[in-house]
């Protein structure tokens, strides 16, 4: 089987986030069959609601016409947008996320802006998985529905999506003023280094999946290092640095997007 990736036809850029579509075509040499899987991905929505209805409509329309579409969000859904002053502590944005037919999301560093305990309360309301292979939970913080990866079967193509969280360490507890009822900082969650956290998982999934996608929240510089360290990853969807691209970026060494 040969996998070919190409940029999708639609790219929308808004003030604080972007929607990038990536198509991966999987060619089965023996059957001369082609299956195209399209990924749409947002990141760094930061509680900005203005363009969410258009994005939701676009993806819903695509999904109605094509069942091989996956919609991902790569973190920082909360903090600092027009929904923040509503003082719902993420409730309003969570309702938006629920309504937008996402297939998987990952945590960003700003997603604990209301405290990690509150973040997990919000995640409990999601009907979609929060994927995190490198989350390290502290104390009694043990979320129920945070798997490391999820496998999707699309027209005979097996897609494994591994999720990872961005590093919280550069913000540190001092960066957040949230305190729990005991006056303690609510940071009860750390992240481990991505490559070592997922190396053996990626190699196991290699036997089960035709396409392996990694979701990150680290920025393109770190994504390139991961692509080179783990060439079995076919596609990385990332966020965090608010970069926008005119075309899909391929790693020079692996030639993977
Ligand atoms: Zn971020």
Lowest model confidence (mean pLDDT) among 33-42, 200-209, 231-240: 33-42
Ligand 1 centre and the CA of 9: distance in Å? 26
pLDDT above 60 for 10: no
CA distance 158 to 179: 43
Model pLDDT, residue 202: 95
- Give the Å distance between the CA of 36 and the centre of ligand 1: 30
Q: Quick one: average pLDDT of 36-57?
A: 89
Tell me the sheet residues that pair with 57: none
pLDDT digits 0-9 by tens, 90-105 = 999 999 999 999 999 9
Q: How confident is the model at residue 5 (pLDDT cuts 50, 70, 90)?
A: low
Using only C-alpha atoms, what is the Rg of the chain? 18
> Mind listing the pLDDT tens digit for each residue in 159-216?
999 999 987 654 444 444 445 555 444 556 678 889 999 999 999 999 999 999 999 9
How many angstroms is it from 42 CA to the middle of ligand 1? 12
* Ligand 1 centroid, distance to 91 Cα (angstroms): 19
Separation of CA 61 and ligand 1 centre (Å): 29
pLDDT digits (tens, 9 = 90+) for 107-126: 998 887 777 778 888 888 99
- Delimit the domains of the chain by residue range: 2-237
Say what the pLDDT of residue 229 is. Answer: 94
pLDDT of residue 177: 47
Q: How much is the pTM? A: 0.86
Output the CA 107–ligand 1 centroid distance in Å: 9
Distance from the CA of 31 to the center of ligand 1, in angstroms?
43
Q: Give the distance (Å) from ligand 1 centre to CA of residue 82.
A: 17
Q: What's the CA-to-centroid distance between 241 and ligand 1, angstroms?
A: 7
Strand 135-137, strand 211-215: pairing: unpaired
CATH architecture of residue range(s) 2-237 = 4-Layer Sandwich (3.60)
* E-assigned strand segments in 168-219: 189-191, 211-215
Helices and strands per DSSP (H, E), number in the chain: 5, 11
Neighbours of 27 (CB within 10 A): 14
**167 Cα: distance to centroid of ligand 1 (angstroms):** 9
């Amino acid at each position: 089987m040969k996998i070919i990736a190409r940029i999708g036809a639609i790219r929308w850029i808004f003030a604080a986030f972007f929607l990038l579509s990536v198509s991966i075509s999987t060619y089965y040499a023996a059957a001369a069959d082609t299956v195209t899987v399209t990924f749409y991905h947002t990141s760094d929505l930061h509680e900005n609601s203005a363009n969410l209805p258009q994005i939701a409509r676009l993806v819903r329309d695509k999904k109605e016409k094509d069942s091989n579409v996956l919609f991902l969000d790569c973190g920082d859904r909360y903090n600092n947008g027009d929904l923040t002053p509503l003082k719902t502590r993420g409730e309003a944005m969570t309702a938006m996320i629920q309504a937008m037919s996402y297939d998987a999301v990952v945590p960003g560093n700003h997603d604990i802006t209301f405290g990690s305990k509150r973040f997990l309360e919000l995640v409990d309301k999601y009907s979609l998985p929060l994927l995190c292979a490198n989350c390290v939970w502290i104390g009694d913080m043990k979320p129920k529905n945070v798997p490391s990866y999820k496998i999707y079967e699309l027209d005979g193509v097996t897609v494994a999506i591994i999720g990872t969280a961005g590093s919280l360490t550069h913000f540190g507890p001092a960066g957040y003023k949230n305190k729990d009822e005991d006056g303690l900082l609510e940071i009860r969650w750390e992240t481990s280094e991505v490559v070592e956290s997922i190396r053996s998982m990626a190699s196991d999934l290699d036997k089960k999946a035709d396409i392996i996608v990694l979701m990150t929240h680290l920025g393109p510089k770190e994504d390139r290092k991961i692509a080179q360290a783990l060439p079995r990853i076919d596609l990385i969807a990332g966020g965090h640095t608010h970069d926008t691209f005119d075309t899909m970026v391929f790693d020079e060494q692996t030639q993977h997007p």
